[in-house]
Structure 1
Amino acid sequence: MTTTAYDEYVRSHWSGRAAAYDRSLAALCAHPASSLLDAAHVGAGTRVLDVGTGSGTVAGSASARGAVVVAVDAEPSMVELTRRRVPSAEEVRLAALPRLPFTSGSFDAAVANFVINHVGDPRAAVDELRRVVRPAGRIAVTIWPDPPPEAQSLWGEVFDAAGVGRPSAPTVDADRDFPRTPDGLGGLLDAAGLADVRCETITWAHRTDPEAWWNGPANGISKPGLVLVAQPPDVLARIRAAYDEVTAPYRDADGLLALPTAALLASATVP
C-alpha cells in the first residue's frame, strides 16, 4: 500500500489550512456526524477510531456520547486543532489511510467522515478500516455524491458566469476509483468483505453566511479554492460579482444562504 500522486496532491492542498477549513466548510461537513456515529453504533464505552478527523467534530460528538476516542488526520494543523478542541480524546495523532499505526482489531468501530473521497486508493482505505476493527465491530463512512448537489455545483455556475476556466487537477486512478453513488459506495464496502452493508442518501439545506461560503475557497479551501487563489485582483472581483449574483436566489430573509446538498452514508459490520 503506497502513497499515490493523488494522495500527495490532496495533502499539499490541505497543508496548513485547518483554521480556514474550520471557519468555512467544517460546518457543512459536520451535519452527518450524528447519523455517522449512529450507523457505527457508537455509544458509551465504544472504542472508536475517527479517521480524517479534520477539526474534530466527529471526535467531539463521539466523546460526548461517552465513547473512548482515538482520532487521526494526515494534516498536522488539523491534528493540533483537534487536540485543543477534544481534550477528552484518548489520543489524537498524525496518521493517514491506507496505513494506520494500530494493531488489527484495536477498535469497536471506525468512522471516516468525507475521507474516502480524498484518498488515492479507496479500496485499500476501506480494507485498512476493516483491519483495525474487531470482528462484529462497525464501520461507517460518508462521501459527497456525483453528480454533486447544488451547494457544491453552484461554484461551477459562478466560474462560468465570470468567464473563468478551471484548471485540471489530479484524480484517482481509474482502476482504483469507484462510482460516487449509493451502489458504488456500497459496492466498495462489499468488495472489502464487510457484512450487512447499507448505503443511504442524506439531504439537507446547509445554512451559512455568504461571506463564510466565499471565504473558504478564497483562502484555498476545496477545488474552487484552487481557482480563486490563482486569480489576479481584477478577475477575483469579477468572480465575486458573479458569486453574489448566482447565490442571490438561495438567500433567506435573514440574509443567510440555504444551499441544498446531500451526502452518501454507508455502514457495515466486520464479519
Structure 2
Amino acid sequence: MTAFDRVERRIWSGKAEAYARTYARLCAHPAAALLDAAQVGPGSRVLDVGCGSGTVSAAAVARDATVDAVDADPGMVTATRRSVPGAAAVRIAGLPELPYADDTFDAVVGNFVLNHVGRPLAALTELRRITRPGGRVAVTIWRAPAAPGQTLIGRAAQSAGLTRPAWLPALDPDDDFPRTPEGLAALLGAAGFLEAKCSEVAWDHETGAEEWWAGAEQGIGAIGQVLNSRGPEGMAEARRAYDGLSAEFRTQSGQLVLPHVALLAAGTASGVAG
C-alpha cells in the first residue's frame, strides 16, 4: 500500500453517511452506462469494486446478475448492504489485492475507484486477474482538466488562499497517467485488456448550493481536506467566495446546474494474468 492509499483510507474513514447525502447522486450518473460497457445482464457474475453507497451494485442486482461488492471502508460496505439487503455478497477489501481466485468473474466494474488508488496500473492488473478470459472490465474516472461544475469549490478555496495540505500526497508521477480518453484506454491496454476503448460521459448535475457545499465542508475527498486546512476562518472565506461564484451556475429556482465530465473505459480480459 502506498502513502497515497493510506491517506485515501484515512480521509474517507467515517464519511459514508456524508457521501450518501451529498455526492453519491452525482457519482451514480454513469452507473447504467458502466454496466452496459461491462455487458452485465441476467446470470452474469459481477464484482462491484469500490462499491461506495451501493448504487452500481443495486443496478446490477436489478439486471438479475449475481453480485459481489467490495470497498476498503467499513462504512461504505454497511451502506451497500443496506442498498442491496441479502441480494449481494458485500465485504471489506481494497485494491490492489482482492480476495478472489483467478478468473472468478464474468464482469468487474469500478465506478470512480481508480481516482482513489495509489497504483492504478496495478489495480487494473488485479481486476484482469480475477476476470475470466473473455470477460469484461469497465471503469470510470474524472476527466482532467475537470469540467467547470467540478471545479467550483476548488475555485472558491483558491480565492480564499487555501492550498493542498502538505500531508496530503499526490500520486507518484511514475504511477500517474493522463486523465484523457487516450490516457485511460492506454492504461487498460498496458494492464493486458484487449480492445480497450474509452469515451467521455458529460452531464449537468442539478443540486442545491447547500448540498454541494456540505460534502466538502464535511471533509469528503481531497477538496474537503483543502477546504478544512485553515480552520473556521479559512472555511468562512471560502464560503463567501463560493456564494459569489455559484451565481454562474444558479437557475431561477435557486438550484445549481453543474457541468461534469467523466471518462468511461472498458476492455476484454485476456487469458494471461499477473
Q: TM-score range by the shorter chain?
A: over 0.9
Residue 13 of structure 1: CA displacement? Answer: 0.6
Alpha-carbon distance in structure 2 between the residues aligned to 1:90 and 1:164: 42
Alpha-carbon distance in structure 1 between the residues aligned to 2:243 and 2:60: 37
User: Equivalent residue for 2:52?
Assistant: 54
Indicate yes or no: 2:80 matched with 1:82: yes
Indicate the larger mover: 151-160 or 248-257.
151-160
Pairing 1:41-120 to 2, within 5 Å after superposition: 41-120=39-118
User: Equivalent residue for 1:189?
Assistant: 188
Residue 193 of structure 1: CA displacement? Answer: 1.5
Alpha-carbon spacing, 1:139–1:218, altered in 2? closer, same or farther (3 Å): same
User: Equivalent residue for 1:146?
Assistant: 144
Cα deviations by residue, 1:147-170 (Å, 9 ceiling, x for unpaired): 111122222321233233333420
Alpha-carbon distance in structure 1 between the residues aligned to 2:202 and 2:87: 30
Pairing 1:149-188 to 2, within 5 Å after superposition: 149-168=147-166, 169-188=168-187
Q: Say how many residue pairs are matched.
A: 269
Query: TM (normalized to structure 1)?
Result: 0.96
Contact 1:49/1:111 (<8 A) preserved: yes
Alpha-carbon distance in structure 1 between the residues aligned to 2:25 and 2:67: 21
Query: TM (normalized to structure 2)?
Result: 0.95
Backbone CA RMSD of aligned residues? 1.2
Alpha-carbon distance in structure 2 between the residues aligned to 1:204 and 1:23: 20
Contact 2:249/2:257 (<8 A) preserved: yes
Q: 1:39 aligns with which of 15, 37, 40?
A: 37
Contact 1:71/1:89 (<8 A) preserved: no
User: Equivalent residue for 1:209?
Assistant: 208
Alpha-carbon distance in structure 1 between the residues aligned to 2:147 and 2:172: 23
Contact 2:121/2:191 (<8 A) preserved: yes
| Structure 1: runs of 5+ lacking an equivalent | none
Alpha-carbon distance in structure 2 between the residues aligned to 1:37 and 1:235: 41
Alpha-carbon distance in structure 2 between the residues aligned to 1:81 and 1:7: 21
Contact 2:162/2:229 (<8 A) preserved: no
Please list every run of at least 4 consecutive aligned residues from structure 1 whose deviation after the TM superposition is greater than 4 angstroms: none
Alpha-carbon distance in structure 1 between the residues aligned to 2:119 and 2:223: 23
| AA of the residue aligned to 2:223 | P
Cα deviations by residue, 1:126-154 (Å, 9 ceiling, x for unpaired): 00000111111100000011111112222
SS at match of 1:147: coil
Alpha-carbon distance in structure 2 between the residues aligned to 1:186 and 1:220: 31
